[in-house]
Every structure is written in structure tokens, then in C-alpha cells.
């Protein structure tokens, strides 16, 4: 019987009782991931007292500036998870190719993908960051996994979760039976169950989007946000609130707590990339959590969890949150057509440099 003071270990044991015959390997893996999160939380909490704040001076496979903590968090994830014999491979935001489990350790039946530190541009300003993880089954248990093994749709995830390193450290987890939150007691070094069966409100008046990208958005997204901005006098007939932490984990945690809708939609900013966020270790695990909590997650065109990945670091448009708003945004995408013949608004000839309504 679980109570508000059950530990993560007790929770996992209860879950296992519901699946007689299970080996316990998934539980061991989740506990190793939780250990990685505790170790990362401790490093982050030291802030400027450690020498881990600031840029590492390197650029990762994504072409992004690595923070020192990006590298440290990645190392922690690798070390805590490589030894236990549950994994056939790992893939990380910070590594171009899958990580091969060192030969001295046995290979297992799961794959782990992770974003070791999400929202890392927030570290220097002491704003919440997090870690995100996803667990898949290895197509061939006991055989070292290569890139194609990781390219599974999100529907195949066995478990997913994140840790948010905020005023407190909270681990949010699903093993496919609802979403549950565990708060870290830093004195005991133990995660305790603090919210069971999280359910996302169906309606919301709060959205999260980086509006500085507005000129690159598709018409459906501009339409949705413009309608929200018109507030009580506009077509929605109500006022909306906006939040943008620039940390997907923090944004997800807020939405799982009080509802809302998040968008980092497909845009035309960089024609090489279909979106900003990465499918395998950001978008898929968050989508599993959101669906398990009764919300929806879409690319605007299709359910995220059904997308067939083509690349380990594939980026994709991502919209998730309270059901009613995500359904509306999906409808706006359908009404705009496939968008392939749409010009970004910045190219509208009426507003161009020689257009009728030339901006001054």
C-alpha cells in the first residue's frame, strides 16, 4: 500500500508486484537513473561554489555551446547506468553516436536515451534546469545496440521521466501506469512519493512559446497565438497568460501541475531543421508523460508518439498540454493545409521593404 511517504524504491516494488514474473531489471535501471539525477542535483546546487558554472568552450553534435555541466551531467548518466547489466546501449544529446557499454560489463535488454541537462542556458542565471530520459526495449537483448536500434516510435517506450532541479528536486516518472512525482529529501538522499496519478486539466488559459520566433511560424501557430493575445475581446472571449522559462523540463512541470499548453512548433528559421527540440530524448519522453496524464502531444500534424524516427538527433515541431487547446491547434494546422506553399509572414509582399504597408 503506497502512501505519501513511500520511497521511489517502495513504489517500484509495488509496481513489480503487479507484474509477477518480471525480472526487476527495469526497476534497477530506473533506480540507477534516479541516482544519476541525485548526483546532478548535488552538483547544480553548489552553483558558483563549484567550478562547474559556465561554458565548456566546446560545441556539441547539435552545434550548440556546451556548458561545463552539460559534460559533467552526461558523464554521470553514463557512469551510473553502464555497469548494471540492464542496458544494450545508451544515446545522449551530448554524443553523436550511441554509447557502447564497456566490455567488462554485461549487456541487457533495454536502451536508455537521455538529455542529461535540459535548459542548460539557464544555469548561469540560477533558473530551473532538468534531465530527461526514455527507456526502450533493445531489439536484440544482450547485443550491443547501434543507431538503427534506437529509431523506435515513442509508443514503444517502456518508461519515461524527468528530474527538475528547481527550489526542490522532483523526479516525475511513468512506467505506463499513470504519472507520479517524487521529491528528493536532500538530507536522506531519497526520493519520496509526493504526487500520485497526476492529471492534467483539460482546459487552460496559459500558453508557453518563444514569441521571438513569430515571423518563422506557420499560419496555424500565428493564428492560435494572435487569437489568445486578443483576450476577452477576441474570438476566444477570454484572457490568456503567458510563461516562458526556456527549459522544457520546467515548462512541462508547470503544465503537469496546473495545466497549460507548450509550443516549440515547426518553423522556417533553419530550413535544415524541422523544429528545435529533439525527438528521441526530449519530445518522446515528455509526450509519454503528458499522454499518461491525460493530455495530448502532437507535431501539429500527427501524434508525436507515432512518428517513426529517422535520425538519433532528429528535431521536430512539438505542441503539448491540455487537451482542449492542443485539439484546437491541431485543427488550425489541418485548416491551413500542409503549409508547403505558405511563405513565412516576413515575406508577405504587402509588408515587404517595397510593399504597400512598408514598416517605418
By the 8 A CB rule, do 188 and 198 touch? no
Residue 247, binding choice from Mg ion, ligand FBP, none, Cβ under 5 to 8 Å by partner class:
ligand FBP
Stretch that binds Mg ion, among 14-22, 29-37, 42-50, 92-100 (CB under 5 A): 92-100
Positions 78 through 107 that interact with ligand FBP (CB under 6 A): 93
Task: For residue 287, state whether it binds ligand FBP (rule: CB under 6 A).
Answer: no
Which of residues 262 and 332 has its CB atom nearest to Mg ion in the complex? 262
DSSP 344: P
Give the CB-nearest residue to ligand FBP: 248
The nearer residue to Mg ion, 99 or 224, going by C-beta atoms, is 99
Q: Which is nearer to ligand FBP, 121 or 343 (CB)?
A: 121
Number of residues that bind ligand FBP (CB under 6 A): 13
Which are the contacts of 166, defined by CB distance < 8 A and separation ≥ 6? Answer: 128, 250, 253
Closest CA relative to residue 53, chosen from 39, 35, 67: 67
Residue burial 62-94, b: 16+ Cβ < 10 Å; e: rest: eeeebbbbbbbbbebbbebbbebebbbbbbbbb
C-alpha cell, 295? 493530455
93 marked among binding-site residues: yes
Residue 51 in marked binding region: no
Q: Is 115 annotated as a binding residue?
A: yes
- Among 32, 82, 115, 206, interactor with Mg ion by CB under 5 A: 115
Provide the grid cell at 340: 508547403
CB of 235 to ligand FBP, least distance (A): 27
Of 261, 275, 278, nearest to 327 (Cα)? Answer: 261
Identify which range of 26-34, 73-81, 112-120, 175-183 contacts ligand FBP by CB under 6 A.
Answer: 112-120
**Is 124 a known ligand-binding residue?**
no
Nearest approach in angstroms of CB 131 to ligand FBP is 9
Which residues does 295 contact at the CB level (< 8 Å), separation at least 6? 200, 255, 320, 321, 322, 323, 326
DSSP H helical segments within 214-322, as ranges? 219-229, 248-258, 284-292
- Residues between 7 and 66 that touch ligand FBP (CB under 6 A): 64
Rounded CA-CA distance 31/82 in Å is 13
Query: Parallel, antiparallel, or unpaired: how do β-strands 159-165 and 169-174 relate?
Result: antiparallel
Stretch of 104-112, 115-123, 210-218, 324-332 contacting Mg ion, by CB under 5 A: 115-123
Judged by CB under 6 A, the chain residues 198 through 257 that form the site for ligand FBP are: 210, 246-248
- The nearer residue to Mg ion, 267 or 282, going by C-beta atoms, is 282
Picking from 93, 129, 116, 73, the residue whose alpha carbon sits closest to that of residue 245 is 129
Binding residues for Mg(2+), by number, are 93, 115, 117-118, 282
Residues that bind ligand FBP (CB under 6 A): 64, 93, 115, 118-121, 210, 246-248, 264, 276
Residues in touch with Mg ion (CB under 5 A): 93, 115, 117-118
Annotated binding site: 93, 115, 117-121, 210, 282
Amino acid at each position: 500500500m503506497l502512501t505519501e511517504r513511500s520511497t521511489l524504491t517502495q513504489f517500484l516494488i509495488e509496481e513489480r508486484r503487479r507484474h509477477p514474473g518480471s525480472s526487476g531489471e527495469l526497476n534497477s535501471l530506473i533506480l540507477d537513473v534516479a541516482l544519476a539525477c541525485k548526483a546532478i542535483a548535488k552538483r547544480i546546487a553548489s552553483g558558483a561554489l563549484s567550478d562547474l558554472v559556465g561554458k565548456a568552450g566546446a560545441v556539441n553534435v547539435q552545434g550548440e555551446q556546451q556548458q561545463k555541466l552539460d559534460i559533467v551531467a552526461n558523464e554521470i548518466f553514463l557512469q551510473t547506468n553502464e555497469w548494471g547489466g540492464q542496458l544494450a546501449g545508451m544515446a545522449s544529446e551530448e554524443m553523436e553516436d550511441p554509447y557502447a557499454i564497456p566490455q567488462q560489463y554485461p549487456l541487457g535488454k533495454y536502451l536508455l536515451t537521455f538529455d542529461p541537462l535540459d535548459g542548460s542556458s539557464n544555469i548561469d542565471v540560477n533558473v530551473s534546469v532538468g534531465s530527461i530520459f526514455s527507456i526502450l526495449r533493445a531489439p536484440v537483448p544482450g547485443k550491443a545496440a547501434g543507431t538503427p536500434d534506437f529509431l523506435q516510435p515513442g509508443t514503444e517506450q517502456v518508461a519515461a521521466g524527468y528530474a527538475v532541479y528547481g527550489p526542490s528536486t522532483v523526479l516525475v516518472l511513468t512506467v505506463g501506469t499513470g504519472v507520479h512525482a517524487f521529491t528528493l529529501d536532500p538530507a536522506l538522499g531519497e526520493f519520496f512519493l509526493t504526487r500520485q496519478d497526476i492529471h492534467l486539466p483539460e482546459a487552460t488559459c496559459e500558453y508557453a512559446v518563444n514569441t521571438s520566433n513569430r515571423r518563422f511560424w506557420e499560419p496555424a501557430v500565428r493564428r492560435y497565438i494572435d487569437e489568445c493575445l486578443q483576450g476577452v475581446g477576441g474570438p476566444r472571449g477570454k484572457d490568456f497568460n503567458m510563461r516562458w522559462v526556456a527549459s522544457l523540463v520546467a515548462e512541462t512541470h508547470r503544465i503537469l501541475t496546473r495545466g497549460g499548453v507548450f509550443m516549440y512548433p515547426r518553423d522556417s528559421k533553419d530550413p535544415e531543421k524541422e523544429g528545435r527540440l529533439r525527438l528521441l530524448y526530449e519530445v518522446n519522453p515528455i509526450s509519454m508523460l503528458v499522454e499518461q496524464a491525460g493530455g495530448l502531444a502532437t507535431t501539429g500534424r500527427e501524434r508525436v508518439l507515432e512518428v517513426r524516427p529517422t535520425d538519433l538527433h532528429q528535431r521536430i515541431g512539438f505542441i503539448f498540454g491540455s487537451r482542449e487547446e492542443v485539439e484546437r491547434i491541431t485543427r488550425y494546422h489541418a485548416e491551413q493545409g500542409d503549409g508547403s506553399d505558405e511563405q513565412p509572414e516576413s515575406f508577405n509582399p504587402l509588408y515587404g521593404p517595397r510593399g504597400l504597408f512598408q514598416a517605418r
